[in-house]
Chain A
Amino acid sequence: MYTFSSKLKTFSFLLMAIGVLGIGYGFWSAPKDIQEVETLLAAESHGSHGEVKHETSKPVEEHVVSNGHEEAQSTKEGNAIVSPTDSTSEVINEVHENSLHTEVAVKKGEHEISEEVKHAEHAEHLNHVLHQLQNKPWAAFYVACIFFMLVSLGVLAFYAIQQVAQAGWSPVLFRVMQGITSYLPVGSVVFFIVLLLCGLHLNHLFIWLDPEVVATDKLIANKAGYLNFPFWIVRAAIFLTGWSLYHYYSRKNCLAQDEASDDLFYKKNFKLSAMFLVFFIVTESIMSWDWIMSIDPHWFSTLFGWYVFSSFFVSGITTIALVTLYLKSRGFLEHVNTSHIHDLAKFMFGFSIFWTYLWFSQYMLIWYANIPEEVTYYITRIELYNLPFFGAVVMNFVFPLLILVNTDFKRITWVLVMAGAVILVGHYIDFFNMIMPGTVGDRWFIGVSEIASVLFFLGLFIYVVFTALTKVPLLPKRNPFIEESKHFHY
């Protein structure tokens, strides 16, 4: 039996406390109304100029500067005796006067024509930025919430596959996997509440939930048969309940099998897992459209479901490896040897490559064809999220590729912990890249809200998982493959 170390428990409470404070701060510091946004933007564009004035004056200034360069060159050639600094400063003065003139002229012209239009545009811009900034703490919470829930779902899928494949190596890890998937019901409840809050218009994460947007946006209006709140929330309820039910009954059967005198419960679990996998792959696809792709309701991609799956599946396997290594280091997993660890590391390696394959396939097909309606998705990400977008590929592909390709490294604890940490952070960033551009746009930052949300869910995850691990023995007793698994050697 595993006992939850009091240090780890305190640590998880600490994470949750810091997380709650940070999340609260994120919501408190988000702007409440247009005025706050206006002062914020004014501060960003160096005080005196308002946002719109700044934008219109920009092209004029650039134009003048380029003129100035040309003039400066010609004067230099003409007056070779005059020192270059003097001549350029004179020219700059001259140009400055000119620029003032032109600026005024341009302003006068535009002033007469489009005062009202500009005001409307300005208000619209402010409104846009306000929505983005108000979304920021919500989106940070949403990314962390869905990430940790899907990690435990990835473990659940891996567990079901191991059952159905009758794997001979993994039964010693079944209780670890069941422990990790105990987070799924808890995470589902939190996640479902977030979805409900979205439906109650407390945020603008899903713009298709806003009736005003749907009224003016024909593309979204045409999707209203699928993207409408009642249907969407019912789907979510069915998926989350279905997954949690599989977790509950599979664990129950596994425990009953310990006390049984035949293999009836094992066979029940086999059938249950096979049915779950069918249910899972359908619901997983739909889930990815509902909870992630619909954040950008003008965009669609056919392999998106697989892509999301590969991302949380590899994170799930990594989590199994990390929890196993932790429990092993505390002396709780007697029968787990380096061969089991090696197998998990191979899965981490293989599915990191699989994720990259799907990431690249999706990216390259859209980049190559360059159809405007699809390609905006990537243009936003490459222009505004350059570092996270390509950084995720480095963390989730290049790093594991070079580290985990080595057989000996796959058995070394510290190498695996390091690689696992990079993979998990990389896939958090992957989800960040999927969700943030559609919700906060260029207003993204990995700051207090984002880090605090991750810490909160990490604390909750640790608390729930390790509490569940204390409930039952860490070694299944009467699994038909348990002996093979104990002596597994690669």
Chain B
Amino acid sequence: MSNKVIYAIYNDDDILMDAVKKTRAAHHHIEEVFTPFPVHGLDKAMGIAPTRLAICAFLYGCVGISVATAMMNYIMIQDWPQDIGGKPSFSYIENMPAFVPIMFELTVFFSAHLMVITFYMRSKLWPFKEAENPDVRTTDDHFLMEVAVNNNEEELVSFFQSTGAVEVKVIEKH
């Protein structure tokens, strides 16, 4: 079974947006779109589900503040409640203002770093990862839409030529 895909290449983001909308209207399945910079509204035009990264970040922040509270409560109040400069160490709440800067920073720290790591894992990014670039020009000034071919090669090629593509290629994918 052949795994043929079409690479439709554009040189303008407005033409790309129109092409994406037409492709969706014609019910061709868009595998991927490669662009050199973020194109506003592309995700909406492609119908991609909204990201849940912000929800992750919020939950990571909750973890961060819990870690900070548990750590300082154990160290400063439970384990060795010393009198340091007259600060009340009888209970956590009594000495809380002094802990707030750390609680804040750890919340931000956990939220930010864990969210970034989540982003890397979800988008499969790491050092020495092999680049998945179908055409070197897409990092510079060209836009590429990849669409699967299901025995309708001629129809697709003519369709994409009509959408303003500067180049339409049929590629055998492995």
**B-binding residues in A (CB < 8 A):** 360, 363-364, 367-368, 370, 405, 407
A407 to B51, CA, bound (A): 12
A405 touches B58 (CB 8 A): yes
- Given B54, B86, B100, which contacts A360 in the complex, CB threshold below 8 Å? B100
**Which A residues touch B98, using CB under 8 A?**
364, 368
B134 within 8 Å of A by Cβ?
no
Residues of B within 8 A of A360 (CB): 97, 100
**Alpha-carbon distance between A368 and B85 when the two chains are bound, in angstroms:** 10
- Per the 8 Å Cβ criterion, residues 78-104 of B in contact with A are 86, 97-98, 100
Shortest Cβ gap from B131 to chain A (Å)? 33
Contact A364 B97 (CB under 8 A): yes
CA of A370 to CA of B86 in the docked complex: distance in angstroms? 10
Contact A368 B97 (CB under 8 A): yes
- Tell me if A363 and B97 are in contact (CB < 8 A): yes
Give the residues in chain A near B54, CB-CB below 8 Å: 407
Could you list 10 further interchain pairs (A-B, Cβ under 8 angstroms) beyond the known A364-B100, A367-B97?
A360-B97, A360-B100, A363-B97, A364-B97, A364-B98, A368-B97, A368-B98, A370-B86, A405-B58, A407-B54
Instruction: Give Cα distance in the complex from A214 to B92, angstroms.
Output: 43
| A364 / chain B contacts, CB cutoff of 8 Å | 97-98, 100
B97 neighbours in A (Cβ, 8 Å): 360, 363-364, 367-368
- CA–CA, A405 to B100, complex, Å? 20
Report B114 CB to chain A, min CB distance, Å. 17
Measured between C-beta atoms, what is the minimum distance from B64 to chain A in Å? 15
* Minimum Cβ distance to chain A for residue B96 (Å): 10
A142 CB to nearest chain B CB (Å): 30
| Chain A: CB-nearest residue to B87 | A368
Identity of the chain B residue whose Cβ is nearest the Cβ of A365 in the assembled complex: B97
A488–chain B nearest beta-carbon distance, Å: 14
Chain A residues lying within 8 Å of B86, measured Cβ to Cβ, are 370
> A307 → chain B, closest Cβ, in Å?
16
Residue total for B at the interface (Cβ-Cβ under 8 A): 6
Q: Give B33-74 interface residues, CB cut-off 8 Å to A.
A: 54, 58
Q: Report the Cα distance A142→B54, complex, angstroms.
A: 43
CA distance A405 to B97 in the complex (A): 24
Task: Mark B96-131 against chain A: 1 for CB-CB distance below 8 A, else 0.
Answer: 011010000000000000000000000000000000
For this complex, 12 residue pairs linking A to B, each with C-beta atoms less than 8 Å apart, are A360-B97, A360-B100, A363-B97, A364-B97, A364-B98, A364-B100, A367-B97, A368-B97, A368-B98, A370-B86, A405-B58, A407-B54
* Interfacial chain B residues near A363, Cβ < 8 Å: 97
Q: How far is B100's CA from A370's CA once the two chains are assembled, in angstroms?
A: 17
Task: Please report the C-alpha to C-alpha distance between residue A360 and residue B101 in the assembled complex, in whole angstroms.
Answer: 10
Interchain CA distance A13-B135 in the complex, whole Å: 71
**Nearest CB of A to B61, in Å:** 10
State in angstroms the CA–CA spacing of A235 and B100 once bound together: 39
Distance in angstroms from B100 CB to nearest chain A CB is 7
CA distance A405 to B54 in the complex (A): 10
Determine the residue in chain A with the shortest Cβ distance to B55.
A406
B53 to chain A, nearest CB (A): 12
A367: chain B residues at CB < 8 Å are 97
CB distance from A451 to the nearest CB of B (A): 32
Question: How far is the CB of B11 from the nearest CB of chain A, in Å?
Answer: 26
Find the A residue at minimum CB distance from B58. A405
How far apart sit A340 and B58, CA to CA, in the bound complex (Å)? 25
Complex CA gap A363/B97 in Å reads 8
Kindly provide the distance from the CB of B55 to the nearest chain A CB, expressed in whole angstroms: 9
- The residue in chain B whose Cβ has the minimal distance to the Cβ of A367 is B97
B30 to chain A, nearest CB (A): 24
Task: Tell me the complex Cα distance, A141–B166, Å.
Answer: 73
Q: How far is the CA of A370 from the CA of B58 in the complex (A)?
A: 35
Closest to A408 in B: B50
The interface residues of chain B lying within 8 Å CB-to-CB of A407 are: 54
Nearest-CB distance from A359 to chain B (Å)? 11
Nearest 5 interchain pairs by C-beta: A364-B97, A367-B97, A368-B98, A360-B100, A368-B97
| Cα distance, A69 to B100, chains bound together (Å) | 43
Give the docked Cα–Cα distance between A370 and B88 (Å).
12
Chain B proximity of A140: nearest CB distance (Å): 31
Least CB separation from A363: chain B residue:
B97
Q: How far is the CB of A383 from chain B (nearest CB, A)?
A: 14
Name the residue on B nearest A360 (C-beta): B100
Give Cα A368–Cα B58 distance, bound, in whole angstroms: 30
Smallest CB–CB gap between B147 and chain A, Å? Answer: 29
* Identity of the chain B residue whose Cβ is nearest the Cβ of A370 in the assembled complex: B86
Cα distance, A364 to B98, chains bound together (Å): 7
Q: What is the chain A residue whose CB lies nearest that of B86?
A: A370
Q: Bound state CA distance, A350 and B39, in angstroms?
A: 27
Q: Please, how many angstroms separate the alpha-carbon atoms of A405 and B57 in the complex?
A: 12
Complex CA gap A407/B54 in Å reads 10
A405 to B86, CA, bound (A): 38
The complex places the Cα of A360 from the Cα of B58 at a distance, in Å, of: 22
Shortest C-beta distance, B142 to chain A (Å), equals 28
- In the complex, A364→B100 CA distance in Å? 9
A368-B101 Cα distance, complex, nearest whole Å: 12
Nearest A residue (CB) for B97: A364
Q: CA separation between A247 and B54, bound complex, in Å?
A: 40
Q: Considering residues B54, B97, B100, which has the most beta carbons from chain A within 10 angstroms of its beta carbon?
A: B97
Q: What is the CA–CA distance of A364 and B97 in the complex, to the nearest angstrom?
A: 6
* Residues from chain A with Cβ under 8 Å of B100 in the complex: 360, 364
User: B residues within 8 A CB of A370?
Assistant: 86
- Kindly provide the distance from the CB of B93 to the nearest chain A CB, expressed in whole angstroms: 11
Residue of A nearest to B54 (CB): A407
| Complex contacts, B58 vs chain A, CB 8 Å | 405
Cα A429 to Cα B131 in complex, Å, equals 58
B168: shortest Cβ distance to chain A, in Å? 33
B125 to chain A, nearest CB (A): 25
Distance in angstroms between the alpha carbons of A368 and B96 in the assembled complex: 11
A360 to B99, CA, bound (A): 12
